[in-house]
A = this chain, B = another copy of it.
């Protein structure tokens, strides 16, 4: 019994070389509408935090926190420009995240098919799917 899942284990597996911590951060960052919306807005061009905050009902500080969550996940970066900080998204992380999920899909579903065949012994025809 007992697997353990150490608090932070480098490695894990998929191609892009994420560790579990990063994956947690990325998926968590994406699991919020407002943050996804921010990703969409900054994808159309850098925006200052104030610019962003003006477009939502919530407070400046709330948007600042959302940006911070995206930044910790490396989904956006901030660049200082005079008195403001311009937020831009980071296509690299997004690309890696997409590859990661695709890899998860591949791994998690390939095996189900392999096992599925074993389980479906009685349905011999079904085995030919794909």
User: What's the Cα separation between A97 and B81 when bound, in Å?
Assistant: 36
Copies in the complex: 2
A-side interface size class: 35 or more
Contact with B along A17-61 (1 / 0, CB 8 A): 000100110111011111011011011111000000011110000
A31, B24: Cβ atoms closer than 8 Å: yes
Known: A45-B119, A101-B97. A1 touches B33 (CB 8 A): no
Contact with B along A95-130 (1 / 0, CB 8 A): 101100110110111111101001100000010000
Q: Is A91 an interface residue (CB 8 A)?
A: yes
By secondary structure, the A interface counts as: helix
A109, B91: Cβ atoms closer than 8 Å: yes
- Contact partner of A98 (CB less than 8 A), chosen from B81, B105, B112, is B105
On chain B, the residues within 8 Å of A15 by CB distance are none
User: What's the Cα separation between A129 and B104 when bound, in Å?
Assistant: 30
On chain B, the residues within 8 Å of A56 by CB distance are 2-5
Known: A32-B24, A102-B102. A43 touches B112 (CB 8 A): yes
